Amino acid sequence: MFVVSVKSSKIRIILLLLFVVIVLVCGMMFADKKVTSSAVAEGAISLRAADDKQRIAYLSQFGWDFDIEPAQVREVIIPSEFDSVYDEYNALQKRQGFDLEKYKGQIVKKWTYNINNFPGYENKTGYVQANLLIFNGNVIASDITLLGKTAKTYTIDYPEDVKNDTKN
């Protein structure tokens, strides 16, 4: 049997415990926040979306100009089993650091906003929309969707190829 005796003061023990608590609290705060863009990786993007102010702040972080009144708010169920469409959508979300796999079968809120500054569609209301999926006050998925004949879904901080895809 091996026994170690360490003599330390109460102050050292308290400081050590305080340090451990701080590390644990910080770990819990950031545990579910994954990278949704390069800005998130730098710690500049908030995923909070529990109220109007936070949802507006979330979209604004990416430089979008949008109608602050949502075009639609509804509850959706993340399917328990993904089909090819959901697999493709989740692959887009994974590129942003989200993963809908852990939300299978959950009811989430979907907030849709009209985007006004998408390249090639500036100030054409109803052609481009931002979608936010919210669970427990946090964004769990987001995208920009181009509607109509050239329908396509993009990451929230639209990729470099947007200008090539939006030729009218």
Give the side-chain half-sphere CA count within 13 A for 125: 6
> Counting Cβ atoms within 10 Å, is residue 102 exposed (0-12), middle (13-18) or buried (19+)?
exposed
The alpha carbon torsion through 94, 97, 103, 109 (nearest 10 deg) reads -110
Asked whether residue 32 carries a pLDDT value surpassing 80, the answer given is no
**Token couple for 64:** 């979008």
Q: What is the pLDDT of residues 49-104, one digit of tens each?
A: 999 999 999 999 998 999 999 999 999 999 999 999 999 999 999 999 999 999 99
Predicted confidence at residue 124, as pLDDT, reads 83
Q: Which H/E stretch holds residue 130? A: strand 128-135
Instruction: Outline where 1-135 has alpha helix (H).
Output: 10-30, 38-41, 52-60, 84-95
Pairwise pLDDT comparison (85 vs 162), residue with the higher score: 85
Cα dihedral 61, 62, 64, 70 sign: negative
Band (35; pLDDT cuts 50, 70, 90): very low
**Coil, helix or strand for 86?**
helix
Q: What is the pLDDT of residues 116-147, one digit of tens each?
A: 989 888 878 889 999 999 999 999 999 999 99
Band (5; pLDDT cuts 50, 70, 90): low
Q: Region of 33 please: left (phi>0), alpha (psi -120 to 50) or beta.
A: beta
In angstroms, how far is the first alpha carbon of the chain from the final one?
79
**Token couple for 58:** 């979330």
Predicted confidence at residue 126, as pLDDT, reads 87
- Please tell me the pTM assigned to this model: 0.71
Band (155; pLDDT cuts 50, 70, 90): very high
